[in-house]
Structure 1
Amino acid sequence: MRFRRFLVLVVVALTAAGCRPAAVPTSGGLPSYDHILVVVEENHSYGEIVGNADAPYLTSLGTNGATMTQSFAVMHPSEPNYLALFSGSTQGLANDSCPHTYSTENLGHQLITAGQTFAGYSESMPSPGYSGCVDGRYARKHSPWVNFTNVPSSSNLRFADFPTDYARLPRVSIVAPDLCHDMHDCSVSTGDTWLKNSLGGYASWAKTHNSLLVVTFDEDDRSADNRIPTIFFGAHVATGGHGERITHYTVLRTLQSLTGVACTGNSCAASPITGIWN
């Protein structure tokens, strides 16, 4: 009892002094983050991004974070991979069609049900809660949360709504850049510059605020192995290349483990990434 009172007094003193206690590990030994931000880019292989002179910012994130050197998309084309990353299933979809409606379990619904928070931020989406398939450079197929009836429309936000005070972010956020800035229609250099200018502030903040940035891609350039870049950057991340073979299902299982929610669908056959944490 005396030790417990002493511990409380230490935490209060640290907080009053402006110091943050270290992240409390989850039951699986993973850090427990205050905020996790996932960004999904488009249609480039590992070799087209990591170490490419046209992607200096992404390369720097990998150098100063954890680069997963054996990361693979689930399939081609794009949309099934977004569904896999969000729900643990491609939902039987094998194309990029729209609209679709699902009621199965997914990361957003899990977090909200568990009393946590989730939001998807889509660049160039015309209005919060928008459910149309296409508007200018916005494409619903890259915003999987819109397809699930158990995720409220209030979680479907524009990137224009992304807070400048990062402490106001949900526990987990997913950012879908538009068709130019996700490198689908525009160059690697354009997408890399957008990421630095738009989310570089969050990346720097995350390092000292118990938060995490994950950058991954939906699929590669249609090569045989579908090897894609996946980078973890932020607090408690061990820098360097990591050769563990992962897929979108592995990334989802890791996000679920980091936030203490259950696996879903094919993420239950994957193990969370454990070797990249300090």
Structure 2
Amino acid sequence: MSPRRGRTALLAALLTATAATATTTAPAGAATAVPAFDHIVLVMFENHSYGQINGSSSAPYLNSLAGQGAKFTASYAVTHPSQPNYIALFSGSTQGVTSDSCPKTFSGTNLGSQLIGAGRTFTGYSEGMPSDGYTGCSSGNYQRKHNAWVDFTNVPASSNRTYAAFPADYTTLPAVAFITPDMCHDMHDCSVSTGDTWARANLDAYAQWAKTHNSLLIVTFDEDNSLSGNHIFTAFVGAHVRTGSYGERITHYTVLRTIEAAYGLPGINNAASLSPILDVWQ
């Protein structure tokens, strides 16, 4: 065989091997639609980059949790500071908010109003909030800037609950629940280790239950530490989830669009033009 023909054969073999690898690593039988979950619980932590959580010895539980489901290696927040990210994930828009100033009041469509309008249920649970329906800007370790649903006049006060009201009987959960840990447990004022310990104590029972009860846990962060291009840690754990790492770029708007799709809702605002996440389902 001539040297030229030998190089050609070698190149062809390499291309074939590459194609075979691509084929074997692609998800076989990936879903064509987001599963119609009975319950979705989303928990938002604070102000840490993907690199500060992924593989960190300070976050053994969050890493273990991600290993049980879908870990997104290219998940990004929308902006800085905190408040507009919470509003973005809840309504598909930052609503023009560029600061953490409080209070904010809006009347536009949001995930809560969508669900309620479709005959579904939504509840936000805020740790440290002094009472159900509270509209104040702060109380102890509670900050309204991390509670987007209270900002919208078309979300009833009954959907704004303290974390103490989160049910022990998960069958009584609303269709979608958002949980906001307090300013210590969300890692804003306390360490990654403190937040990770809280996550294990408060989320694992639901995470394990969700796997066999057509339900889903989403864990994410509002923003990074302002040093990593807003690259954040996000994981899905629960029923129908194909375990693995996923490299497609997603944002808070993509997560919102995926939750909407699970309940047959149209995308709103900046989520409207996005496709829901599909490759993680089996």
Q: Which residue does 1:57 correspond to in 2?
A: 61
Q: Which residue of 2 aligns with 1:251?
A: 255
What SS class does the counterpart of residue 186 from structure 2 fall into? coil
Partner of 2:123: 119
Partner of residue 264 from structure 1, selected from 262, 265, 268: 268
- The letter of the residue matching 1:149 is T
Aligned to 1:183: 187
Give the aligned residue type for 2:167: P
Q: Which residue of 205, 218, 230 maps to 2:234?
A: 230
CA contact (8 A) 1:50 1:62 kept: no
SS in structure 2 opposite 1:212?
strand
Structure 2: gaps of 5 or more residues: 1-30
Count, aligned residues: 252
User: Is 2:82 the partner of 1:75?
Assistant: no
What is the aligned partner in structure 1 of residue 175 from structure 2? 171
TM-score by structure 1 length?
A: 0.89
2:271 matches 1:275: no
Q: In the TM superposition, what whole-angstrom CA distance separates every residue of 1:87-125 from its partner, at most 9, and x where no partner exists?
A: 000000111010010000000000001000000000010
CA shift digits 1:169-189 (9 cap, x unpaired): 000000000000000000000
Q: Hey, what's the Cα distance between the residues in 1 that align with 2:67 and 2:32?
A: 26
**Which amino acid letter does the alignment assign opposite residue 235 of structure 2?**
I
SS in 2 for 1:228: strand
Q: Can you list the C-alpha shifts for 1:205-242, whole angstroms capped at 9, x where unaligned?
A: 10111100000100000015110001000010011100
Cα deviation for residue 130 of structure 1 reads 0.2
Q: Structure 2 CA distance, aligned partners of 1:205 and 1:224?
A: 34
**SS of residue in 1 equivalent to 2:255:** helix
Alpha-carbon distance between aligned partners in 2 of 1:219 and 1:28, rounded to the nearest angstrom: 30
Shift of 1:269: 2.1
Matched-pair identity in %: 61
On the 8 A contact 2:126/2:147 being kept in 1, the answer is yes
Question: 1:28 deviation in Å?
Answer: 5.2
Aligned match of 1:110:
114
RMSD: 1.0
The answer on whether the counterparts of 1:74 and 1:248 sit within 8 Å (CA) in structure 2 is yes
Does residue 132 of the first structure (1) align with residue 159 of the second (2)? Answer: no
Which consecutive segments of 4 or more residues in structure 1 shift more than 2 A? none
Counterparts of residues 150-161 of structure 1 (less than 5 Å): 150-161=154-165
Written as runs of structure 1 = structure 2, the 5 A alignment for 1:23-38 is 29-38=33-42
Aligned mate of 1:142, from 146, 149, 155: 146
Query: For residue 36 of structure 1, what is the amino acid of its counterpart?
Result: I
Which amino acid in structure 1 is aligned with residue 246 of structure 2?
Answer: H
Contact kept? 2:49, 2:228, Cα under 8 Å = no
CA distance in 1 between partners of 2:263 and 2:74 (Å):
24
Indicate the residue corresponding to 2:203 in structure 1.
Answer: 199
Shift of 1:271: 1.3
The aligned residue for residue 22 of structure 1 is none
Unaligned segments of structure 1, at least 5 residues: 1-26
The 2-side partners of 1:29 and 1:129 are apart by 35
Q: Is the 8 A contact 1:98 1:140 kept in 2?
A: yes
Looking at structure 1, the residues matched to 219 and 208 of structure 2 have their Cα atoms a distance apart, in angstroms, of: 14
Q: Which amino acid aligns with 2:121?
A: T
